[in-house]
Structure 1
């Protein structure tokens, strides 16, 4: 597959596939990178789309850089990518995973995007943070006092928590398809169903899949979903 390595405002980026007027912005999740988009880009190219992927802060080529992967930096990067894509393609689509979906909900809520595909999206960060409070025996008052608390999976931040509470997702007008695993512990099925009903999304549920969709059978499940939704 054709791939073009570029920098967009110092963000390492790959443009995949043969030239087209249509492109998918691929936003990876936690512990991902721009190269993982190859799997999606192969399918997209067969359907007539290019794909653009990039490393989120502290991921991929930016892993050792002194920049946090938080909501503000995530939105900044997505906006930089958007400006580049808008200048070079006529029709823009979105594919986002996990935390990448959460960043997209904030950065792209008012953008002219033709269609969106979300895999294991974080739709309600407040729910996840409160789960982390419970999992790691952290109180809201303790976080407020200490400002940041390290946990085995993520750093809890009071500033981030305040942003989440003050900025719930209230608007999403992009035609969207969601793939969710019923064994996903990061978001409840009630949250995903509520979001899907509120914003008229197509919801697909894999009964045996976890948040990561990493089992042997998950590859075909995700492939079939992409093929049918793209």
Structure 2
């Protein structure tokens, strides 16, 4: 028999249970993925001493900073890859971004080189007609037609004074074909980030330190051969 008291107690229990939400068990957090240790920084190889700053020239030449020029483009003596060519020949491989000066049948000096981009690339044989230390830059008329702002440095105006800012750098080797100036040069520059790339208007660029070294070794009247590029124009521009 349900008494009034039992009914009241039961009703209170129902109401209490209706207002009370069950306590949810705390969710188990997902496991964290294992933390991979940071890869150790790859140290830059120190540059050879001959790429240090040069202070005994008429104008200062900065050191080549580490980590910019890959080691395979550093100046080095290598096995002569062109043993059938006469010693003294200079051979430029634009696709590899390298210049070889053939010393003997067996040995050659190899330099990293920047070469002409697709629209201005050239190939063939030329003659090393003469060399200059700290040359003036005399801008050809065809370049002035593309870049009129270079008019102050035209041949007629005497060119640009040597020194920092002159695109020909510390040394220049002048290339002729059939007795005529090709207007192309092998020259120095302080642009290590472009070494091994096709970026110039047809000239062959070396680091200033390498241009000075090549100037000392190159022979007057030597054959300079620029190999044709086999890369698509879109890759060599």
TM-score tier by shorter-chain length is under 0.3
- TM-score, scaled to structure 1: 0.28
- Which structure has the highest helix share of the two? 1
Q: Which has the higher contact order (CA 8 A, sep 6+)?
A: 2
Structure with the greater alpha carbon radius of gyration: 2
- TM-score, scaled to structure 2: 0.27
